[in-house]
Amino acid sequence: MAPDMHRLADDLAAESAVLRALLADLDDAGWDAPTPAAGWAVRDQVSHLAHFDDVAVQSATDPDAFRAALAALADAGVDPDAIAERYRDLPPAELLAWFDEARARLVAVFRDLDPGLRVPWFGPAMSAASSLTARIMETWAHGQDVADTVGVTREPTDRLRHVAHIGVRAMPFSYAVRERPAPEVPVRVELAAPSGGTWTWGPEDAADRVTGPALDFCLLVTQRRHRDDTALEVTGPVATEWLSFAQAFAGAPGPGRAPLA
């Protein structure tokens, strides 16, 4: 069954609203507060999302322009820190308005796309459905940094399935980005969903296994928590190795997070 773009768009809008609520009452000092991402303030988390929302829309509506912009980067690649620096002088009100407008445009454009449409990206092309799912993952992950900064615990929802799915599917990428061969041994992932029930990936009889709360798995694969700070149970050498550097997001290898004090 093809992914439902309207449902994905609705889930992205809902995840966006959770983040928007965290940002609405911040003063200037709050926008400049350092987040757990080294060197990034709240404002950088938001500009990152807005910037790549605009880029995602371009990839879907004007792929030739996207490819030209990507080619112009040559060997420099994409530097998230440089992108964050570019927007640091934006006043908070302008930054929030940009996020609102970019996110609304993204949702509107992607809602009615063919889910199988191939769109270019920073690496292999992906389907429009996968691109929209990645925006859900990014919003949740960067929203976690904002929530941690302002001291808010977000209620987990079943939208985490999108994040977990990318985390599982990105296992080969987690190895490739570190120039290591992906193992051929399968891994079974069984996660307790926030609303009850279990989400599963991989063969049921696999010896290497990951089980535990979906929230903890999502925090780990987005590198928002150290494995020691989760309740995940990991069995087997392949699963253990994978979760030591699992990465659901594109780009260079992430540094992960230190254990909480």
| Counted domains in the chain | 2
Q: What percent of the chain has pLDDT over 70?
A: 97
In a domain, 74, yes or no: yes
- Name the pLDDT band for 44 (thresholds 50, 70, 90): very high
- Contact predicate 119/131, CB 8 Å: yes
pLDDT, average across residues 152-166 = 97
In a domain, 36, yes or no: yes
In a domain, 259, yes or no: no
**Quick one: 133 and 49 in the same domain?**
yes
List pLDDT tens digits, range 220-232: 999 999 999 999 9
**Quick one: 51 and 172 in the same domain?**
no
pLDDT of residue 1: 65
Question: Does the structure show a pLDDT above 90 at 261?
Answer: no
Question: Does the structure show a pLDDT above 70 at 243?
Answer: yes
Query: Running DSSP on this structure, what letter comes out for residue 200?
Result: E
Closest CA to 125 of 66, 180, 190: 66
**Quick one: 173 and 216 in the same domain?**
yes
CB atoms within 10 A of CB 160: 25
Question: Does the structure show a pLDDT above 90 at 15?
Answer: yes
Question: Does the structure show a pLDDT above 80 at 75?
Answer: no
In a domain, 248, yes or no: no
Range of the domain at 181: 161-243
Which CATH number do you get for residue 96? Answer: 1.20.120.450
How far, in whole angstroms, is CA 118 from its chain's centroid? 19
Q: What percent of the chain has pLDDT over 90?
A: 90
The two structure tokens encoding residue 43: 């404002």
Residue type, 14: A
Residue 123 dihedral angles phi and psi, to the nearest 5°: 140, -150
**Quick one: 120 and 27 in the same domain?**
yes
**pTM of the entire predicted model:** 0.96
**Quick one: 12 and 135 in the same domain?**
yes
152: CB partners within 8 A, 6+ apart: 22
Distance CA 111, CA 132 (A): 9
pLDDT, average across residues 226-239 = 97
Question: Does the structure show a pLDDT above 90 at 123?
Answer: no
**Quick one: 34 and 113 in the same domain?**
yes
pLDDT, average across residues 186-192 = 98
